[in-house]
């Protein structure tokens, strides 16, 4: 009997030693440079251990369960996709899952993109299909309280860098982007809009035009002032980016706009129709939204491109005509003379 007890004790001690040693022993059983493991929401420890063992991240599912028992962290594991690229111990794996170090990849949406352009960027980076992104962007319920007139989320998908799972659903990304817009367009901005007599839709629409008109930070309040001044006196906005948007929606945009395009019959054509276009033409960044809500205190009604990314502003039509002649007519005449070809219409607000 004593011998039996001794043998049992020895067996228990050996098992304990192997378990202790096993949970501290680094292991990498996969041949590739990296291995991904998806932990399902609500998965039990046994299922998680088997998934790790099947992926050869741990040598044995039992060792993972021992590590869980030792750390008493069984209730704190986070769901998600995890990436492993070197040998780790079962204790290391537990720590990774407890900290929730879920693998993500970053996707950056620059300011001034349309839904269509964002969808192509989403697909080109391997996150999913462009059409799924476009379809998810039709869920206007996400913004109905701010813009009951919205027919899609154009303008409300905030341009920023997002950390995404490799195979995340487009609808989840859309939710993140709208949530970010709502966070940026907070109570203070809404109060400013209300004080200015502007709806959220009007603010975002005008900000989207400002975003497309200039990428120069110090010019945004000036451009916003020009358009707000024009709208105040009933003067047409005559904004080239709205024509570009109209052409793109009609699948007629080839990278340039020409004189004939300015007569295109579209509600987005602000050369033909007065006031704001029907809705946003792109997703504006925070600075452009702020520029609309806090425009520069200037009397300008016109601006024209210097063809170097900046603009020159004018109060009167006579001043503007001189600027157009200097920075557009003469510039493109020189371009045509140098190239011997036809130049596209310049930007001439």
Mean pLDDT of 315-335: 84
Q: Are the CB atoms for 150 and 201 separated by under 8 Å?
A: yes
pLDDT in tens, 279-295: 999 999 999 999 999 99
Task: Give the whole-angstrom CA distance, residue 217 versus residue 294.
Answer: 13
Judged against a pLDDT cut of 70, whether residue 342 lies above it is answered with no
Confidence of residue 21 (pLDDT cuts 50, 70, 90): confident
Confidence of residue 158 (pLDDT cuts 50, 70, 90): very high
Among 135-149, 248-262, 295-309, name the one with the lowest average pLDDT.
Answer: 248-262
Structure-model confidence comparison of residues 182 and 347, the more confident one: 182
Q: Which domains does the chain have, with CATH numbers?
A: 19-99 (3.30.1490.480), 105-184 (no CATH), 187-303 (no CATH)
Confidence of residue 102 (pLDDT cuts 50, 70, 90): very high
- Percent of the chain whose pLDDT exceeds 70: 89
């Amino acid at each position: 009997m004593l011998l039996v007890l001794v043998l049992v004790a020895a067996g228990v001690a050996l098992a304990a030693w192997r378990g202790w040693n096993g949970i501290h022993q680094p292991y990498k059983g996969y041949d590739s440079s990296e291995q991904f493991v998806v932990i399902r929401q609500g998965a039990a420890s046994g299922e998680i251990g088997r998934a790790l063992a099947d992926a050869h991240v741990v040598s044995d599912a039992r060792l993972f369960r021992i590590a869980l028992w030792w750390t008493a962290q069984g209730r704190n594991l986070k769901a998600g996709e995890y990436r492993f690229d070197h040998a780790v111990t079962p204790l290391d794996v537990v720590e990774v899952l407890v900290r929730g170090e879920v693998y993500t990849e970053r996707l950056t949406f620059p300011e001034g993109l349309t839904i269509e352009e964002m969808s192509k960027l989403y697909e080109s980076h391997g996150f999913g299909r462009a059409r799924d992104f476009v379809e998810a962007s039709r869920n206007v319920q996400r913004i109905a309280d701010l813009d009951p007139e919205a027919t899609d989320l154009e303008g409300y998908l905030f341009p920023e860098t997002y950390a995404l799972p490799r195979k995340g659903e487009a609808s989840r990304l859309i939710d993140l982007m709208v949530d970010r817009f709502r966070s940026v367009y907070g109570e203070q901005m809404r109060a400013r809009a209300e004080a200015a007599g502007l709806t959220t839709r009007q603010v975002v629409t005008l900000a989207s035009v400002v975003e497309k008109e200039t990428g120069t930070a110090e010019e945004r309040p000036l451009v916003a002032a020009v358009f707000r001044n024009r709208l105040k006196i009933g003067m047409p906005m005559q904004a080239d980016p709205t024509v570009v948007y109209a052409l793109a929606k009609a699948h007629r945009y080839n990278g340039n706009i020409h004189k004939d395009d300015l007569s295109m019959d579209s509600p987005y054509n602000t050369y033909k129709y007065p006031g704001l276009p029907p809705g946003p033409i792109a997703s504006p960044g925070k600075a452009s939204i702020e520029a609309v809500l806090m425009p520069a205190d200037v009397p300008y009604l016109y601006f024209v491109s210097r063809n170097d990314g900046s603009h020159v502003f004018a109060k009167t039509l006579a001043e503007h005509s001189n600027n157009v002649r200097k920075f557009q007519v003469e510039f493109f005449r020189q371009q045509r003379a140098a190239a011997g070809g036809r130049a596209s219409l310049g930007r001439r607000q």
